[in-house]
Amino acid sequence: MSLVVLLGGARAGKSALAVGLAREWDGPVVYIATAEAGDDEMALRISRHRDARPEDWWTIEEPVALREALVKVDAGAYAIVDCLTLWVANLLERGADVLAEAEETAEVAAARESPTIVITNEVGLGIVPATPLGREYRDLLGAVNATFVARAGEAVLVVAGRALPLLPDWRPRG
């Protein structure tokens, strides 16, 4: 199995799906979390995510150096990256070259021997952000998502807990 990207809105069930898939793996699982607890509400969200994972899984909390974190994961381990949405925000906040980082990180994720599930939000389906920074973030995340999906063996849109496979190279009939 290769790289799989789970896209969808907030609270759509992406993380639950990734955890469910990894529970079926007959080997080690590594969960790479990109969230940072900048406030009490985010700390609670992170705590809930930790509680949802089996105790025998290894967790790497890495908000910025995602490529390096993936390189450290054993080749035989199932890897979950949760999520690109926060990773892009973290990189943008620090002034990093987001697209270059995404290209390199997607290559590492796609080259892994064991499954790699990458979770990300699809933020481009909503309203146009009111601020230049909001629009920049939306556009960057869309480009990062496309970068990962281009290298993925499978991509799935998760809506209300349902997985909708995204077809590669779809063209209208006629």
- Mind telling me the catalytic residues? 49
In 3D space, the residue among 33, 59, 50 whose CA is nearest the CA of residue 119 turns out to be 33
Q: Where are the alpha helices (DSSP H) in the chain?
A: 14-23, 40-52, 66-72, 84-93, 98-111, 132-151
Residue with tokens 């700390």: 43
CA 83 – CA 15 distance, rounded (Å): 9
Q: How many CB atoms lie within 10 A of CB 14?
A: 29
Packing angle of the helix pair 132-151, 98-111 (nearest 10 deg): 20
